[in-house]
Amino acid sequence: MKRVDAVADLIKLVLCIQHQIGRVMPSSRGPNKSVTAKGSSHRKSPGTGREKRRRDGLLSQLPDLEKVLRGSLVTRYRRCGRGNCHCASKGDPGHGPAYYLMVTLAPGETVQIYVPKEQKQEVEAWIDNFRRVRESLEKVSSINRELLRQGKLFEGE
């Protein structure tokens, strides 16, 4: 259950970030300027603004977070066990294909959910959306780590 909670927390974080990005207003202080805690303005390093714009761009390109699925789509063929059925022949793939969403919730706890053939493409797209969200958040986190290392993560907020 911990992994499910972590995914839910991840989605909540992304929704919060998307909401904040939607409210970001351009600065009225001019380009590359920010205000320190004491109220005096100073110039930002050129890379800081570029990194923050890159971060904002990544966040603005996130897919709809209601359309994400974690897991893998697997294709299965099975044999029915009747000796006179085509699936009993050597080289025959068996009955199928049948599609399942496989998700590991915790060590030793994997669920599989049948996916009708008509929904296969949409489920694949939702799985891809999850992958894109995870990759984008990793990039955003990397940018934030670099800004924190430079002591510029909270400038201009």
Q: pLDDT at position 5, please? A: 61
Report the percent of the chain where pLDDT is more than 70.
69
H helices of the chain, in order, are: 2-23, 46-60, 120-149
CA-to-CA dists, residue 138 to 1, 10, 144, angstroms: 22, 11, 10
Residue 69: is it exposed, middle or buried by C-beta count within 10 angstroms (0-12/13-18/19+)? buried
Cα–Cα dist 95/35, whole Å: 67
Nearby residues of 36 by Cβ (< 8 Å), 6 or more positions away: 42
Q: Model's pTM, two decimal places?
A: 0.65
pLDDT per residue as tens digits for the range 104-122 = 999 999 999 999 999 999 9
In a domain, 116, yes or no: yes
In a domain, 95, yes or no: yes
Total structural domains in the chain? 1
**Coil, strand, or helix at residue 112?**
strand
Rounded to 5 degrees, φ, ψ at 73 are: -95, 120
Which domain does 111 fall in, by range? Answer: 72-120
pLDDT per residue as tens digits for the range 10-66 = 666 666 555 555 533 333 334 433 333 333 344 445 567 888 889 888 988 888 999
Q: pLDDT at position 140, please? A: 92
**Coil, strand, or helix at residue 97?**
strand
In a domain, 53, yes or no: no
